[in-house]
Amino acid sequence: MNMKSMIAGVACAVSLCSGMTQEAEGENGVKVQKVMYPNREVMVVANIYTPAEFDAAKKYPAVVVGHPAGGVKEQVAGLYAQKLAEQGFVTIAFDASYQGESGGLPRGLEDPAVRVEDFRCTVDYLCTLPYIDQERIGAMGICGGGGFAVAAAITEHRIKAVAGVSAVDLGRLRREGLGGSLTPQIQQRLTAAAKQRTVEANGGEVQYANYVPNSLDDIPAGAPTMYREGYEYYRTKLAMHPRSTNKYTLTSLDKLMAFDAFKHIELLAPRPLLMIAGSEAESLYFSQDAIDQAKGEKELYVIPGASHMGLYYKPEYVKLVGEKLTEFFKANLSK
């Protein structure tokens, strides 16, 4: 990235934050504060949630929360950050580099190496805060964020416990499609990404792909339920957010397709792994594969009747997920 782009990317994060309240009152006495910290040349923007009756003179366990691919910190990541803060944790939900309020150009870049580094840099930031117990830091993520959380924890020993909610290995998903539906198109899609790099190298416009359908008309007959759910969650009033643009750069594909979220997951042991998924989720096999490959303490917690995105917002499932996450992190981030 050249200096002009670097400055523009940082300015993007700063300008998006300007004029916003830096501390706000959440639910049940939880306070939310907006913070910024670097991931190399990119400024990451995050919300820190502190529990009711927070005392800065004390030491607290902390949990880093990563959002889904295409999401932002104000959606399901913020929901679970709030739930865990209500249970006494300090939590931090961040926008991935190049996305949401965070800086970086081009906007919408989905680079798994940077996404994993976002988790590390968030842990770096937590370790500068005097009220965080550095020996009691956990991480979790939802959907693609769950895969990135696990990938970070595999070699990041400051993360003492890691959980995924409706977790997805975004590299495998981009290679194969859901359930292998796009496997025959791998080479064709990589060729398209390569050609687009040439276009952009010569000053052409950035080309984007959608995470989920933009309208009901874009959902093909027989498409997996997850795609309809994605439209309903991200593109309607259910959870639509102006910074969740539903776009990633086409040139992200050459990086994503070489990524394996669970590679070397055996190195996670003896630190514990929790994967939470719905019994009706078409993405359940990602969580199962992670558990099958992991060593040491591990658990697959399947919620009967729940779909992939049911765990994002449906009260009966959110309650169960919140309770399980609380149990897991309290057990594994204890003194």
Residue-wise pLDDT for 82-140, tens only, equals 999 999 999 999 999 999 999 999 999 999 999 999 999 999 999 999 999 999 999 99
Query: Confidence class of residue 21 from pLDDT cuts 50, 70 and 90?
Result: very low
**Residue 58: is its pLDDT beyond 50?**
yes
Least confident of 160-174, 215-229, 259-273: 215-229
What's the rounded Cα separation, in Å, for the pair 27 and 82?
A: 8
144 pLDDT higher than 60: yes
Q: What is the mean pLDDT of residues 161-189?
A: 94
pLDDT for 156 equals 98
Q: Does residue 19 have a pLDDT over 50?
A: no
pLDDT of 303: 98
pLDDT recorded at residue 1: 39
226: nearest Cα among 282, 279, 176: 282
Confidence of residue 22 (pLDDT cuts 50, 70, 90): low
Mean pLDDT over 206-226 rounds to 91
Confidence of residue 313 (pLDDT cuts 50, 70, 90): very high
> What pLDDT, on the 0 to 100 scale, is given for residue 220?
85
User: Both tokens of residue 144?
Assistant: 């693609």
Mean pLDDT of the chain: 93
pTM, rounded to two decimals: 0.93
pLDDT for res 118 = 98
pLDDT surpasses 90 at 230: yes
For range 217-243, the mean pLDDT: 93
